[in-house]
Amino acid sequence: MTTMTQQSTRFREFKMPDVGEGLTEAEILKWYVQPGDTVEDGQVVCEVETAKAAVELPIPFDGVVRELRFPESTTVDVGQVIITVDTGGGDAGEEPEPVAAAEPVADAVPLPGNEDGDDAPKVRTPVLVGYGVAESSTKRRPRKGAAPAGAVNGTQAVAVTLTPTEPQAVTDPQAVTDPQAVPGPQDEPEPQAGAVADAGRPLAKPPVRKLAKDLGVDLARVVASGADGIITRADVHAAAAPAPSVPDSAPPAQPAPEAPEPYETPRAEASAPAAGARETRIPVKGVRKATAQAMVGSAFTAPHVTEFVTVDVTRTLKLVEELKSDKDMAGLRVNPLLLIAKALLVAIRRNPEVNAAWDEANQEIVRKHYVNLGIAAATPRGLLVPNIKDADAMTLPQLSAALGELVSTAREGRTSPAAMQGGTVTITNVGVFGIDTGTPILNPGESAILAVGAIKPQPWVHKGKVKPRQVTTLALSFDHRLVDGELGSKVLADVAAILERPKRLITWG
């Protein structure tokens, strides 16, 4: 009975949490640890994707990873155990019992005590075949002034932790038991900037790892340019860029074009089909599955009405150029989307009835006295609609800063579930793809969505003469249970009027 109690105390299980509101499952995207690794309370052990966002999961206790219950790309129900950790529980005076293994790889390796010689040498006991108990967390950074590769720091050495995926794993048992044979994890040489990470796990932040996965780049082959050998986003993009096929005659490679608008993130290219394959099946899960269900529910629940207007936005584009040189907007991203968003917020202020929601259960219309402005963003994981909380209360510089933060967060895959909840109206920019207009579907729970088409020079009657002007088409879809034709027309007309003469931002705002 005592042994069973100690074992239950020693081995702790970490279950898949509900990282959103009411979510029932999540897909494991990436494991950051392997069996035998030492973890600390608060250390991120894996990245998972829910129906709303990709999030990182920290472990809530210290110990050594004993087992990973599910491989990557597996969908796991909330509440299921995903990782088991040996926390070294039980009586302090007893040695923890090793887990049964088919064939031990090496004998226990004694470690030297402290400098005073008061403590007896520690003993490292293998807990799984091919693994050793690491003395330090695997979440480490290169040490300054580390010894060269192959050298051991001073006279103290620890046994190397082996993993089946590391190419430098030692297979000779004598090499493992000899403390001078290989440097341990703490004696790892410091990576040099510009060198390829060829030993251990490459140093990169989780968003950079996610980008590398989306682009199909092996981080072990990426040349790191960041401080202390850390791989940056630019390094990943450089590794993903195809080399010219004919170096002698081909023109110099051009830099990757910048996204037309900052809030639209290009999707990762689909992998090429196998030779002779006539079909490719792609599992629908995560964000794409949630988006599909939400769009079907919205289309067949809310009666959609879409209205269109074509407007001359030449003055708006001139104002954008003026704002770029304004000292109050220094360091902020200024583009047409910023003024379109501000125009919509002013139109909602003039027509507050449009900012509402339909409560089916209580048969009530819920009017919102705040505007959480959603921005539809195309990401490699699918369509996301994070929103800016209380956007109606922001000044133009504040709105610009909020849009910039929303963009960078979405591009790095760090959009939280909370950022995608509670939206009231949305803007979607199909113009970045060269599309003139469309009939957007409402984001569930919202009353309206504004689609912005491509801005193009077109012949336009201006002051009685036909002149080339910058023209775009706006489309407003709204829930006809909440918004009738008159109200919807007023909102769309106000947005168009402001973009045609942006000084109305002052007189109407």
- Which residues belong to the active site? 480
Helix (H) / strand (E) containing 499: helix 485-500
d(CA 232, CA 206): 11
Q: What tokens were used for 76?
A: 């796991």
Is the distance from CB of 413 to CB of 215 less than 8 angstroms?
Answer: no
Measured in degrees and rounded to the nearest 5, phi and psi for residue 503 equal -65, -15
- 222 within 8 A of 236, measured Cβ to Cβ: yes
Helix 396-411 and helix 336-350, axial crossing angle in degrees, nearest 10? 120
Three-class secondary structure of residue 434 per DSSP? coil
DSSP 48-89: EE-SS-EEEEE-SS-EEEEEE-S-TT-EEETT-EEEEEE---
Question: What 3-state class would DSSP assign to 320?
Answer: helix
Which tokens belong to 362? 């209580």
Taking a C-beta distance cutoff of 8 angstroms, is the pair 123, 177 a contact? Answer: no
Q: Are residues 472 and 453 in contact, defined by beta-carbon separation less than 8 angstroms?
A: yes
Pseudo-torsion of CA 165, 168, 169, 172, nearest 10°?
Answer: 150
Contact 153, 186 (CB under 8 A): yes
Q: Rounded CA gap, 486 and 494, in Å?
A: 12
- 479 forms bridges with which residues in the sheet? 304
CA distance 194 to 192: 6
Contact 108, 29 (CB under 8 A): no
Task: Give the span between the Cα atoms of 97 and 89, in whole angstroms.
Answer: 11
